[in-house]
């Protein structure tokens, strides 16, 4: 039926475009809240009479880049050390900050292995397979209770990969895929509709 054909063709154009615009609007709108940290007399609407969408996002990006420039030198490292030492003296803040920093250091370290490999694992039961990501190895205290060599993996949910399950699995039970993390994420978010491109080299255990 032509109407149904044209409707589906139109949806295939507008649905991804609308979702993309919505997500970008949400991100930019959230980052724009950083302008609220400025004194009211410093904000653009005070001088221009209207707000400029995206200016807060640019300000956030600028602050992040400048922070990276500052901490990249010797004096910046000294300031950072002083700041972290100060936070370490506050009981509740210390536990939260140290935990979050360990995770961020692991995720964003250039030589880190967290989320660098896509895996194929049997979950939630044997014979049922899903995509997972290698996050490292179990800690010493945990590893000594596990028979054989194990790896730590993160099994994301579909279509929202930001939630998921942390598992420790035997190394022989996971299959390392010849697939990039981006391809694996697209595969998960699309619920298997967007299949990864083929790579040469196969997979290995």
73-132: pLDDT as tens digits: 888 888 888 888 888 888 888 888 888 877 777 666 665 556 779 999 999 999 999 999
The answer to the question of residue 182 being in a domain is yes
Number of domains, the chain = 1
The answer to the question of residue 195 being in a domain is no
**Residue span of the structural domain in which 179 resides:** 118-189
Secondary structure element (H or E) that encloses residue 175, with its range: strand 175-176
**Confidence (pLDDT) at 63:** 87
**Confidence (pLDDT) at 122:** 95
DSSP secondary structure letter of residue 193: S
DSSP secondary structure letter of residue 1: -
Measured CA to CA, the distance from residue 67 to residue 146 in angstroms comes to: 42
Residue 138 φ then ψ, to 5°: -60, 150
**Confidence (pLDDT) at 110:** 62
The answer to the question of residue 177 being in a domain is yes
Measured CA to CA, the distance from residue 138 to residue 120 in angstroms comes to: 18
* Residue ranges of the chain with per-residue pLDDT less than 50: 200-202
Which residues lie across from 170 on neighbouring strands?
150
**Confidence (pLDDT) at 168:** 95
**Confidence (pLDDT) at 42:** 79
The answer to the question of residue 181 being in a domain is yes
Measured CA to CA, the distance from residue 146 to residue 140 in angstroms comes to: 10
Burial letters for 163-191: b for 16+ Cβ neighbours within 10 Å, e otherwise? ebeebebeeebbeebebeeebbbebbeee
The answer to the question of residue 138 being in a domain is yes
The answer to the question of residue 164 being in a domain is yes
The answer to the question of residue 159 being in a domain is yes
- Which string of DSSP letters, residue by residue, matches 108-161? H-TT--TT--EEEEE-SSTT-EEEEEEEE---HHHHTTSSS-EEEEEEE-SS-T
The answer to the question of residue 1 being in a domain is no
**Confidence (pLDDT) at 202:** 47
**Confidence (pLDDT) at 113:** 59
């Amino acid at each position: 039926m032509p109407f149904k054909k044209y409707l589906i063709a139109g949806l295939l154009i507008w649905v991804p475009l609308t979702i993309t615009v919505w997500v970008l609007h949400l991100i930019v709108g959230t980052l724009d809240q950083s302008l609220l940290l400025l004194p009211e007399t410093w904000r653009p609407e005070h001088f221009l009479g209207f707000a400029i969408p995206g200016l807060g996002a640019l300000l956030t990006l600028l602050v992040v880049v400048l922070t990276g420039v500052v901490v990249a030198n010797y004096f910046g490292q000294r300031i950072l050390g002083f700041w972290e030492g100060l936070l370490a003296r506050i009981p509740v803040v210390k536990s939260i900050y140290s935990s979050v920093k360990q995770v961020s250091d692991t995720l964003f370290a250039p030589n880190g292995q967290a989320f660098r490999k896509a895996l194929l694992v049997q979950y939630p039961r044997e014979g049922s397979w899903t995509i997972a990501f290698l996050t490292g190895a179990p800690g010493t205290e945990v590893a000594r209770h596990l028979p054989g060599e194990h790896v730590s993996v993160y099994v994301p949910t579909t279509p929202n990969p930001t939630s998921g399950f942390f598992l420790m699995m035997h190394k022989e039970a996971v299959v390392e895929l010849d697939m990039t993390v981006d391809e694996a994420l697209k595969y998960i978010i699309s619920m298997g509709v967007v299949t990864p491109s083929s790579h040469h080299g196969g997979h290995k255990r």
